[in-house]
Structure 1
Amino acid sequence: MQHLGHLEEIGDTGTRDSRDKARGILQVLKTVKFVMFLNFLMPYLDMISAVSKVFQDNDSTVEVVFRRVDSVVKQLTSLAKPEKLNRILSNGIEERGGSVVWKDTVLHTGRPQRGRGHAADLATYKKEVVLLCQGICDRTLHHLGSRFEVILSNPVFSSARVLFQFSTWPTEEEDDDFGDDNIRVLHQHFHALLQQKDFDIDSCIREWVELKSLCRAQLATMSKLPAFSTFWMSVLTREQEEDFKHIFVILRLVLVIPIHTAECERSFSLMNVVKSDWRTRLDPHTLTSLMAISLDNNTVSTFDPLPAVGLWWAGRRRRPSTQPYGARARRAVQQECNPSESDTDDEV
């Protein structure tokens, strides 16, 4: 509404060119179809931005991508239903004395369209906007499917999700070798890397059975399901490494599977900022350190200095008992072998 008031002010007091532009924009903004489309656009953009945020967050995991895309697809499918669109499009719009009003602003019904002798009524406009919004939802669903088909149908991503997404685990009574095949898929994909860790598939499956029982017992004591990465990171830090040596290797690989390249793109942009035209002689090591500091989002309130202090202390030999430096002792000036001035006077 503030922007509308600003445009109205420009339309009255601006220059000739700006007045014409402001009045033209107002003529479009104050139409019934535009306001209806705006009501649709607000929830639609919220859904799309939720997907976009996943691929900008450094903490995104495979589970988050599956869950967010699936959620947005369901929301868009629900949004495209005519009854829901009719309710959303009519939000804030009402008829008063033969005029259409939105937040105390009288809307224009528009010029008569071709083939019509008069401007359409509110129901006709709503029907047209519903068809337009349904087309947008259908095209968005199509592009989401084609865009994420590689991820959603990838056997490695699917196995990682099925294996460690505890909210979809079957009950203990229905658990008939659940996850064993998924472990084999991940083992086959990461075979070269797992060989370096002396990985044993049979031991991993035995540890997996024990880990499932342990996690089910922990989840049963919680009032609500924790976040995916939070729960598994706590498992990694709480349980003994020797008891789950092989399955923990698989878990760590799943947690660090790269989902996007946003961090790499940020690094290239940051490199151009840090190494500007005035700092072209920066040493590569210094540039790397400065970029690492800038990419780390820790603030003063959240930064933990103890690891840095420990690294500094272990880097070289320190002398904690050394006293602060005082005034430096003056160097002893050696007397010259020449006789002093007094001796010379005596001789004279």
Structure 2
Amino acid sequence: MDIIPILTQLSMLFQKQDLDLALVQPAVSQAISDINTLKTDDGAHVQALSKSLFSDDTGKTSLDGHVLLYFTEAKKNHFKTKIRELFCTEVIKNLETRFPEESSNMISVFAVLGMRPLSFVDNKAEWGNDRIETLIKKYGDEVTVKDGSKKSPLIDAGATRREWVIVKDLVLQEAYPRMKLTELWKIIHTYHRDSFPNLLTLASIASVLPVQTADCERGFSAQNNTKTASRNRLSGEKLSKLLKISINGPSIERFPFDVAVKLWKEKRERRMFNTDRARN
């Protein structure tokens, strides 16, 4: 039971649509550390359970007035010394497989593009340079793929360094909002796309990193709302189009219904708009 709150807290973090990439590595490391502690130490739930157990003079143990027929001290000790440790070890192994250290560190490196702490650092000229260098090393070098061919770098190393120096001053000067990495780079893309092509490439990569689960859950929710029991014969192609409109389209208040009806009417002859038939 004590592991569940730790994993729930981690899960809630990854359900945020505006997940701060800088939190990923520390949050996973803290969860692993907390679970490691539970291998040998009793958590709050185990402690509460131990206090609720009552043993009478005959050696029978009860919980809230109910006799536990198969409970023994030997089984209790076996759970604490063997089962609990094995279970915690497997959970940690799964977390480390899902969040390998190299990937978690790279995700945290991308967080530099959000520039959240920029207003509070003394040496703004040096801030973030080390993480930008990590990204340049990853995406600014030619790569050899499995078939032996060469893949061109995604960014230009020198140009990326120059853009980084300029963009920090620009963001501070224009007081662009920095609560969400995606929103910040949407603004930069709108007004300064020609000035920061390499950083915009990195921001595009950061925006599609498969970290948070909000978009996935949102997609399943939209699918369930669209393909209902009464619409179960929707084809895959039509369902895909409807989901794109539902997820990416304008809000219902902004949708131009008059234009949509006009296009639908003009696509082919509609009986309801044929006045001659209507009179007959």
What band does the TM-score fall into relative to the shorter chain?
A: 0.5 to 0.7
Q: What SS class does the counterpart of residue 65 from structure 2 fall into?
A: strand
Judging changes above 3 Å, is the alpha-carbon distance between structure 1 residues 296 and 183 closer, same or farther for their aligned structure 2 residues? closer
Task: Tell me how far 1:148 sits from its aligned partner.
Answer: 2.9
Q: TM-score, normalised by structure 1?
A: 0.49
Cα distance between partner residues in 1 of 2:249 and 2:69: 50
Deviations 1:166-218 (A, max 9, x none): 57999738759423422321234897584xxxx54322211213334666899
User: CA, structure 1 residues 291+182, in 2 after alignment: closer, same or farther (shift >3 Å)?
Assistant: same
Aligned residue number for residue 70 of structure 1: 29
Residue 162 (structure 2) aligned to one of 186, 206, 223:
206
Counterpart code for 1:75: D
Q: Which amino acid aligns with 1:235?
A: L
Give the paired residue count: 240
Cα deviation for residue 44 of structure 1 reads 1.4
CA 1:189–1:90 in 2, change beyond 3 Å: closer, same or farther?
Answer: farther
1:233/1:44 CA distance change after superposition, 3 Å: same
Quote the Cα distance in structure 1 between the aligned partners of 2:219 and 2:186.
30
Correspondences of 1:235-254 after superposition (within 5 Å): 235-239=184-188, 240-242=191-193, 243-254=195-206
Contact 2:18 2:180 in 1 (8 A): no
Alpha-carbon shift at residue 55 of structure 1 (Å): 6.7
Deviation, 1:140, is 1.2
Cα distance change, pair 88–45 in 1 and its aligned pair in 2 (3 A): closer
Distance change in 2, residues 1:280/1:304 (3 Å): closer
- Is the Cα contact below 8 Å between 1:63 and 1:161 reproduced in 2? yes
Residue in structure 1 matched with residue 239 of structure 2 by the alignment: 287
What is the rounded CA distance, in whole Å, between the counterparts of 1:56 and 1:232 in structure 2? 16
TM-score by length of 2: 0.58
Higher relative contact order (CA 8 A, sep 6+): 2
Residue among 108, 115, 124 paired with 1:161: 108
C-alpha separation in 2, matches of 1:247 and 1:311: 41
- Which residue pairs with 2:253 in the alignment? 305
**Any idea what the Cα deviations from partners look like across 1:82-112, whole Å, max 9, x if unmatched?**
2xx165312163467948675xx22435448
Question: What do the CA deviations read for 1:120-167 (whole angstroms, capped 9, x no partner)?
Answer: 4xxx66544422323311221123223433xx324xx64452242457
Task: Say if 1:192 and 1:87 are closer, same or farther in 2 by CA, change over 3 A.
Answer: same
The CA deviation at 1:309 is 3.6
* SS of 1:249 mapped into structure 2: helix
Cα distance in 2 for partners of 1:203, 1:311 equals: 48
Counting only pairs closer than 5 Å after superposition, residues 144-293 of structure 1 correspond to structure 2 as 144-149=95-100, 152-154=101-103, 158-165=105-112, 172=123, 175=127, 177-184=129-136, 185-188=138-141, 194=154, 200-212=156-168, 230-239=179-188, 240-242=191-193, 243-259=195-211, 263=216, 270=223, 274=227, 280=233, 282=235, 284=237, 286-293=238-245
> 1:41-78, CA deviations, whole angstroms, 9 ceiling, x for partnerless residues?
1x312333445566777666765643442232122123
Q: Is the 8 A contact 1:160 1:186 kept in 2?
A: no
- For 1:108, what is the secondary structure of its paired residue? strand
Where does 1:85-124 land on structure 2 (aligned, <5 Å)? 85=42, 87-91=44-48, 93-94=51-52, 98=56, 105-111=64-70, 120=73
Question: Which one of the candidate residues 82, 85, 91 is aligned to 1:140?
Answer: 91
Cα RMSD of the aligned pairs, angstroms, is 5.2
Other-structure match for 1:16: none
Which has more radius of gyration?
A: 1
Q: Do the aligned partners of residues 176 and 58 (structure 1) sit closer, same or farther apart at CA in structure 2, a change above 3 Å counting? A: closer
Amino acid at match of 1:138: T
Partner Cα separation in structure 1 for residue 173 and residue 76 of structure 2 = 53
Partner Cα separation in structure 2 for residue 168 and residue 81 of structure 1: 38
Q: Specify whether residues 200 and 143 from structure 1 end up closer, same or farther in structure 2 by C-alpha distance, changes over 3 A only.
A: closer
Identity %: 13
